[in-house]
Structures are given as structure tokens and as C-alpha cells.
Amino acid sequence: MTAAGSGLEHEPEYDEAAIRFLEVLWGEGFLSPGGPAEVDRVLAGLDLAGKTILDFGCGAGGVSLHIAKTYDPAEVVGYDVEQPVIDHARAAAVREGLSSRVRFVAGSSGRLPFDDAEFDVVFSKDAMVHVPDKEWLFGELYRVLKPGGRLAASDWLISHDGEPSQDMRDYIAAEGLSFGMASPQRYLAAMTAAGFVDASAESRNAWYRETARSELQRLQGSLHAAAAEAVGEEYVAKNVRTWTAMQKVLDTGEHCPTHLRGSKPAGGPP
Ligand SMILES: C[S@@+](CC[C@H](N)C(=O)[O-])C[C@H]1O[C@@H](n2cnc3c(N)ncnc32)[C@H](O)[C@@H]1O
């Protein structure tokens, strides 16, 4: 099986400039909003002690390292398809003395380079949006989970399965990233078809709608100088336009960041 998406065969979308810019906004090693607190919300109630964790679409490593430092897992494996983020994550793990408990694996957008039933928990933060084939994706995440394993993720969804509105098309064009957005209904159906039980989706639109508003204000105010120093005025101006376009579809609810949960049955098929 293959999946269309970004991969090492393409120019990176999250290149050095993108990493520097997003770190000014979201913190060292974080390429998605909310920082450690939002990661903790995704993982709320799960006991990760002694467990093996896959961080799918790990980016620059901030999330994987936070999980390793906070939850006492046996091992965290960060997986991503872009080399600059993997290089950044590996260097951060060495700097923080965590290389024995966290490793970062670079792959392509095809079959995941992991054995069946390798992980107790699959985590992902705002990366699945880059894989348009959700049915393939959840099939792979199910395959690499142990029976009884848990999926806990956050992702950027669209509220419906119809044609995106003009505002949504404008926002996606402004991002310029390979987004393959799908609705909560499609995610839940794909999870269930893969074999997950107790699949659930919880919208985080209300939180991110207000958080993004303050991110835009800070980009234009208190963070402006640091962002411009990191990536230049033009890059910041482009992102102010992107955030402005994003705010419209957050305010209408069409863009709905969402938390997802599912379980692989303990005694079911592999
Ligand atoms: C918005 S960033 C989030 C990174 C990280 N999870 C975080 O929260 O900081 C999305 C990540 O998904 C990765 N990605 C894109 N396509 C992917 C694929 N097919 N498989 C795995 N990761 C992918 C990108 O390279 C990028 O690092």
C-alpha cells in the first residue's frame, strides 16, 4: 500500500526557515500550537510509564522529548518524512541527554518502517493532515500498535466532507503546505474500518480560535522583532497573511483542530 503525501523524495515543507519561524511562535522543537500543555491534554488519563510510544510526524522533536521527560516511557520513537526536522530533533535529543530513550526515524510516505504490534501507544500532533488517505493511515497506525494499544492524537480537520468554502481554499493556498484535510466523520469511519474501537473525536476549535487570535497579535507585536530576526520581514508578512486567512475559517468553525482517541482491541485480530 502507498499513500500520497509529503516525503523525503520532495523538497521539505518544514525547512530550516519554517522551523526557526514556528519555534519563535510555539517554542523550541514545537511545530504546532499549544506547547507541552496541549500535548498533555491529548494524553490526559493515559499511563505511559514503561510503554513504547510512536510519535507519528514528530517534526523537530519538542513533543517526543516532552513525552520522554514527563511520562517515564520505556522508549519514544519519533517518525517523520522530512530530513531537516529529523536532524533538528536528533540534535535536540543529544543536547538534552535523552538519546538513550528517544530515537528519531526518517522514512518515506509509504509503509511505516516498523513491525506489526511494535508500540503500546501511537501519538500524533497535527501531522496526519499531511496524509490525504486517512483509510491507509489508520490501517498503518493500527498495524504497528500492540493488541490493547491506544491511539491519542491531535490533528487539523475540516468540519464537513463537501467542497471547501472559498475562505478555506484561500487559507489552504496561503499555507502552501500539502494539506489533505478531512472531516471528523471521515476520520472516525477510517479509524473504525481499520479496527479501532471506542473511536472518538473532540473539537478543539473553541480553544485554537482564541489562541490563534493571540498568536497573530503577538506576531504583529511582541514577537515581531524576534520573528523578523529569525526569518526576515517578508517571511513574517507572508505568515501574518496566512494567520489572517486561518482566523476566518477558525471563526466560522470550518477549520476544526480535533483530538482523536481509539483503542486496538486486546483480543481482536492483529
Ligand atoms: C505541523 S508539523 C507537526 C510536528 C510535530 N508533531 C509537532 O507538533 O511539533 C507536521 C509534521 O508532519 C510531518 N509529515 C508530513 N507528511 C508526513 C507523512 N506522510 N508521514 C509522517 N509525517 C509527515 C511533517 O514533516 C512535519 O514534521
Inter-residue contact 14 to 84 (CB < 8 Å): yes
Question: 183: helix, coil or strand?
Answer: coil
Averaged pLDDT, 232-244: 97
Dist. CA 262–CA 199, nearest whole Å: 4
Confidence label for 10 from pLDDT (cuts 50, 70 and 90): low
Dist. CA 90–CA 190, nearest whole Å: 32
Dist. CA 270–CA 267, nearest whole Å: 9
Q: Which of 126, 134, 255 to mutate to test the pocket of ligand 1 (most atoms within 8 A of CB)?
A: 126
Q: Which of 19, 22, 28, 31 to mutate to test the pocket of ligand 1 (most atoms within 8 A of CB)?
A: 31
Query: From the CB of residue 50, how many other CB atoms can be counted at a distance below 10 Å?
Result: 11
**Ligand 1 geometric centre to CA of 112 (Å):** 14
Given a cut of 70, is residue 8 above it in pLDDT?
A: no
Dist. CA 202–CA 72, nearest whole Å: 26
Dist. CA 119–CA 141, nearest whole Å: 9
The domains found in the chain, sorted by start residue, are 16-164+179-206+255-263 (3.40.50.150)
Residues with Cβ < 8 Å from 47, sequence gap 6 or more?
none
**Ligand 1 geometric centre to CA of 22 (Å):** 13
Given a cut of 70, is residue 270 above it in pLDDT?
A: no
Confidence label for 181 from pLDDT (cuts 50, 70 and 90): very high
**Ligand 1 geometric centre to CA of 13 (Å):** 10
For residue 6, the model assigns a pLDDT of 41
The single residue listed with the C-alpha cell 507585536 is: 221
For residue 177, the model assigns a pLDDT of 84
Averaged pLDDT, 213-227: 97
For residue 116, the model assigns a pLDDT of 98
Sheet bearing 75-80, strands edge to edge? 102-106, 75-80, 52-56, 119-125, 145-158, 255-263, 197-203
Burial of residue 257 (CB within 10 Å: 0-12, 13-18, 19+) is buried
Given a cut of 90, is residue 1 above it in pLDDT?
A: no
> In 72-204, which ranges are continuous DSSP H helix?
83-95, 134-144, 166-175, 184-194
Cα 239 to chain centroid distance, Å, stands at 19
Averaged pLDDT, 183-197: 98
Given a cut of 60, is residue 67 above it in pLDDT?
A: yes
Inter-residue contact 33 to 59 (CB < 8 Å): no
Confidence label for 176 from pLDDT (cuts 50, 70 and 90): confident
The single-letter DSSP state of residue 44 is: T
Residues with Cβ < 8 Å from 259, sequence gap 6 or more?
41, 42, 152, 153, 154, 201, 202, 204
The single-letter DSSP state of residue 96 is: T
> In whole numbers, what is the pLDDT of the chain averaged over residues?
94
In this prediction the pTM is: 0.96
Ligand 1: residues with CB < 6 A are 5-6, 14, 30-32, 56-59, 62-63, 80-82, 85, 109, 125-127, 130-131
For the record, the C-alpha cell of 70 comes out as 514527563
For the record, the C-alpha cell of 100 comes out as 538513550
Q: For 17-49, what is each residue's pLDDT tens digit?
A: 999 999 999 999 999 999 999 999 999 999 999
Given a cut of 70, is residue 109 above it in pLDDT?
A: yes
Asked whether the CA dihedral 238, 239, 240, 246 is positive or negative, the reply is positive
Counting residues of the chain whose pLDDT is more than 70, the rounded percentage is 95
**Ligand 1 geometric centre to CA of 125 (Å):** 8
For residue 95, the model assigns a pLDDT of 97
